[in-house]
Amino acid sequence: MEFIQDLMNYGFLQKALFTSIMVGIICGVIGCFIILRGMALMGDAISHAILPGVAISFMLGINYFYGAVVIGLLTAVGIGYISQNSRIKSDSSIGIVFSSFFALGVILITKASTAIDLTQILFGNVLSVQSSDMWLTLIIGAIVLLIVILFYKEFLITTFDPTMAQAYGLPVRFIHYVIMILLTLVTVASLQTVGVILVVAMLITPASTAYLLTNRLSTMIFLSAFFGALSAVIGLYFSSEYNLSSGAVIVLATTFIFILAFIFSPKQGILWRAIREKRNKASI
């Protein structure tokens, strides 16, 4: 209960709370589309690849958001271009492109500026969130959620059956890049909270947990957003009370919820599955 007291008293904790809940929600929502499209690695790639974008933004004295979005899109286009125009498979082209960008980013950040702390970008620190960061996250979050709500139908069909979508005239490739833009936005918004290294966990783990629990995409999205937000709050609590790295604790919270679902999910959980199998064998 001390934590709630602290929340009332300290502005920095309130900012951290709002920011991390929003990050949990939008990562959960976009994560559902990412895992269903088989693009989990793409999420990892874009989050790492935006590093040079952040560095260049600092050099130019603009908000890191702009550089990150440009580089994130460049990564998505580059990966698509290599795998479509050669025999290189998409996981390999992801590996080539993102590690190059990441390496470039490390050099740029260490050489160009003393103002940015590399560790902070890599691992995040939700307790140091400024008002401007909080507003940026809330605005990005609102935009992402609005687009998903408005184009839910189009996102659903291009994810499930892109051939049908293309056959009736939807711009399937354009929608793919819209989702890539949203993914980049979500990653940028998560920088402060979990950092680039761990953002992939926020994208994949809550969505995978939800995937084990339901057979409806809309339910999956709500559950995933809820698990994301819940993990963010749990992580914030432990990191402020016990002075632990916020990103790491949040990620472990998502993992913990995932393990629960993995074991106890009524349809997919290994526990019920084992019980069912045993019952079936006994009844033969």
Partner 1 sequence: MGKALTVDHLHVSYYGKEVIKDVSFSIDTGKLVGIIGPNGAGKSTIMKATLGLIPKDKGNVRVLGKPLKAIRKKIAYVPQRNNLDWDFPINVIDTVLLGTYPHLGLMRRPNAKQKDWAFQCLKEVGMEDYSKQQIGELSGGQQQRVFLARALAQKAELFFLDEPFVGIDVSSETTIIQILKKLRDKGKTVLVVHHDLTKVEDYFDELILLNKELVDFGPVQEVFKPEKITRAYRANLSILENVGVKM
Residue from 5, 169, 279, 280 in contact with partner 1 (CB under 8 A)? 169
Backbone dihedral angles phi then psi of residue 154, each to the nearest 5 degrees: -70, -40
C-alpha 254/C-alpha 258 separation (Å) is 6
Instruction: Determine, following the binding rule CB under 8 A, whether residue 118 of this chain makes contact with partner 1.
Output: no
DSSP E strands in the chain: the ranges are: none
Residue from 3, 10, 152, 174 in contact with partner 1 (CB under 8 A)? 152
The number of residues that bind partner 1 (CB under 8 A) is 24
Instruction: Determine, following the binding rule CB under 8 A, whether residue 217 of this chain makes contact with partner 1.
Output: yes
- In the complex with partner 1, the residue whose CB is nearer, 168 or 242, is 168
What is the residue type of 3? F
Residue from 90, 128, 214, 255 in contact with partner 1 (CB under 8 A)? 214
- In the complex with partner 1, the residue whose CB is nearer, 59 or 176, is 176
Q: Report the site for partner 1 in 132-151 (rule: CB under 8 A).
A: 150-151
Output the furthest CA–CA distance in the chain (Å, rounded): 72
Q: What is the dihedral of CA 274, 279, 281, 283, to 10 degrees?
A: -170
Characterize 136-171 residue by residue with b for buried, 16 or more Cβ atoms within 10 angstroms of its Cβ, and e for exposed.
bbeebbeebbebbeeeeebbebbbeebeebeeeebe
Q: To which H or E segment does residue 115 belong? A: none
The least distance separating partner 1 from the CB of residue 214, rounded to whole angstroms, comes to 6
The least distance separating partner 1 from the CB of residue 202, rounded to whole angstroms, comes to 20
Instruction: Determine, following the binding rule CB under 8 A, whether residue 166 of this chain makes contact with partner 1.
Output: yes
Residues within the interface to partner 1 (CB under 8 A) = 36, 150-154, 156-157, 159-161, 163-164, 166-169, 211, 214-217, 219-220
